[in-house]
C-alpha cells in the first residue's frame, strides 16, 4: 500500500459491498479479489486464497477474513478498520430490520423479499466458491481437493475441520 | 423447555464470545447449540426464523443474528454487546495468525499446505451454496434467477453491487406477484 488514499479506497469499497452483501462475506470475495489483486496488485491471487483459507481454518466468524485482507494491505490498524467498514453499514440495516420484524411489520413484503432474494443469494455464494476453486488453482490436485470437499461437505455431516486438515496434509505433501 | 428471561448486554457479550471462539469453518452450528440448547435465550423455531431473516439481509449471517437477538433482548446496547462479544477475541487471534503467516509465507511446504486448505475452503463455500439451493422451491423463475446471478459473477465478472441491484428487486417483484 502506498498511501492513505489507498486505505480510503479499500475502506470505501468494503463499505459499499457491505450494503449488497446478501450471503455474507462469501458473496463479496470476487469483488474484493478484483480490487486488491486484479486492479491494485496489493497481493497475489494465491495470497488472497491463502487468507481465505486461513479464515476457514481458524476459529471465529468467516467475516474476519476481511480483517486479514486489510492487515495484508496496510497493517493491523487497517485490518480492524476494514472489518468495521465492512460490518457497520449492513449492521445498521439489520438493526432497523430487527426492530421492524419484532413489531410484526410487513409479513407479505418480508416473505416476498425472502423468496425473491434467496435464488440470487444462492447464485452469488456458488459463484464465489467457483471463482475461489478455479481462479487460484494451479495444479490438478487442487481442483480434485475442491471437488472432494464440495461433495463431502454438502452430502455428509462430516465436520469441516477434517476437510481443512485433509487439504493441509495433501497440500504439504503434493 | 421454557426460555429463560431476556439476557443482559453483559450476558450477551459473554454468550456470543463463546460462540465466536468455538466455530471452525463457520460458527452457525455452534450458535444454535449455545443460544438454543444451553442458554435457552430463544427456541429452535425462533432461531430458524432469525436465521432466515439474517440470510436475506446484507452482512454476515451470524452478525445479523447477534444484532437481532441483542435488539430483541435489550435494544441497541444488546446488539452492540453481541457483535463485540462475537468479534473481539477471534479478531485478535486472526491478526496474530495473519502476522505469523506473513513471516512464514515463503516456506515451501507451508505454501503447499495453505494452497490445499484454500482448495478445501472453496469446496466448503460451494457446499454452503448447494445446501441453500436444496432449500429452494424448484420453480422456473427461481432457477433462472439463480443461474443469472451465478453467471453474472462467475463468467461475466460483473460487479456485485450491479448484480444485486438488478436481480434482487426483480426477484422480490416476481415473488410478490406470485403470491398476490
Read off the pLDDT of residues A66-78 as tens digits, 9 standing for 90 and up.
Answer: 999 999 999 999 9
Interface check B159 vs A, CB under 8 A: yes
The whole-chain average pLDDT of chain A stands at 89
For residue B2, the model assigns a pLDDT of 46
Q: Do B62 and A61 touch (CB under 8 A)?
A: yes
Q: Higher-confidence residue: B12 or A108? A: B12
Q: B73: exposed, middle or buried (C-beta count within 10 Å: 0-12, 13-18, 19+)?
A: buried
Read off the pLDDT of residues B84-121 as tens digits, 9 standing for 90 and up.
Answer: 999 999 999 999 999 998 888 888 888 888 889 888 98
- On the question of pLDDT at B82 being above 90, the answer is yes
* Chain pair A-B, CB pairs under 8 angstroms: 413
The pTM (predicted TM-score) of the whole model is 0.87
For residue B160, the model assigns a pLDDT of 92
Distance CA A137, CA A147 (A): 12
Q: Which residue of A has its CA nearest to B79?
A: A95
Interface check B126 vs A, CB under 8 A: yes
Q: What percent of chain A has pLDDT over 70?
A: 96
Using only C-alpha atoms, chain A has a radius of gyration, in whole angstroms, of: 18
Read off the pLDDT of residues B58-73 as tens digits, 9 standing for 90 and up.
Answer: 999 899 999 999 999 9
For residue A22, the model assigns a pLDDT of 86
For residue B48, the model assigns a pLDDT of 80
For residue B74, the model assigns a pLDDT of 92
- On the question of pLDDT at B3 being above 60, the answer is no
For residue B1, the model assigns a pLDDT of 45
For residue B28, the model assigns a pLDDT of 76
> Any idea of the CA torsion for A104, B59, A27, A137, to the nearest 10 degrees?
-140
Least confident of A151-160, B17-26, B159-168: B17-26
Distance from CA of B9 to the nearest CA of A (A): 15
Reduced to 3 states (helix: H, G, I; strand: E, B; else coil), residue B158 is coil
Amino acid at each position: 500500500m502506498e498511501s492513505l488514499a489507498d486505505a480510503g479506497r479499500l475502506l470505501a469499497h468494503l463499505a459499499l459491498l457491505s450494503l449488497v452483501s446478501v450471503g455474507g462475506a462469501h458473496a463479496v470475495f470476487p469483488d474484493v479479489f478484483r480490487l486488491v489483486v486484479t486492479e491494485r496488485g496489493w497481493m497475489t491471487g494465491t495470497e488472497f486464497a491463502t487468507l481465505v483459507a486461513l479464515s476457514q481454518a481458524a476459529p471465529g466468524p468467516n467475516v474476519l477474513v476481511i480483517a486479514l485482507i486489510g492487515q495484508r494491505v496496510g497493517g493491523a490498524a487497517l485490518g480492524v478498520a476494514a472489518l468495521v467498514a465492512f460490518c457497520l453499514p449492513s449492521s445498521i440495516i439489520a438493526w432497523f430490520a430487527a426492530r421492524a420484524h419484532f413489531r410484526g411489520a410487513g409479513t407479505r413484503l418480508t416473505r416476498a423479499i425472502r423468496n425473491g432474494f434467496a435464488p440470487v443469494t444462492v447464485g452469488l455464494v456458488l459463484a464465489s466458491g467457483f471463482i475461489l476453486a478455479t481462479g487460484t488453482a494451479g495444479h490438478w490436485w487442487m481442483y480434485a481437493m475442491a471437488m472432494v470437499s464440495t461433495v463431502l461437505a454438502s452430502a455428509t455431516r462430516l465436520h469441516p475441520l477434517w476437510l481443512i486438515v485433509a487439504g493441509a496434509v495433501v497440500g504439504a505433501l503434493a | 423447555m421454557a426460555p429463560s428471561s431476556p439476557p443482559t448486554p453483559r450476558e450477551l457479550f459473554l454468550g456470543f464470545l463463546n460462540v465466536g471462539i468455538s466455530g471452525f469453518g463457520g460458527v452457525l452450528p455452534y450458535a444454535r447449540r449455545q443460544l438454543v440448547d444451553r442458554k435457552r435465550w430463544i427456541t429452535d423455531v425462533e432461531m430458524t426464523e432469525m436465521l432466515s431473516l439474517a440470510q436475506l439481509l446484507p452482512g454476515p449471517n451470524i452478525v445479523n443474528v447477534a444484532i437481532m437477538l441483542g435488539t430483541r433482548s435489550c435494544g441497541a446496547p444488546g446488539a452492540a454487546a453481541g457483535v463485540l462479544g462475537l468479534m473481539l477475541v477471534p479478531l485478535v487471534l486472526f491478526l496474530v495468525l495473519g502476522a505469523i503467516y506473513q513471516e512464514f509465507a515463503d516456506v515451501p511446504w507451508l505454501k503447499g499446505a495453505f494452497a490445499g486448505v484454500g482448495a478445501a475452503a472453496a469446496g466448503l463455500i460451494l457446499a454452503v451454496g448447494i445446501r441453500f439451493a436444496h432449500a429452494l422451491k424448484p420453480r422456473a423463475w427461481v432457477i433462472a434467477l439463480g443461474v443469472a446471478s451465478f453467471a453474472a459473477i462467475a463468467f461475466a465478472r460483473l460487479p456485485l453491487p450491479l448484480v444485486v441491484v438488478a436481480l434482487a428487486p426483480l426477484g422480490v417483484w416476481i415473488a410478490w406477484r406470485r403470491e398476490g
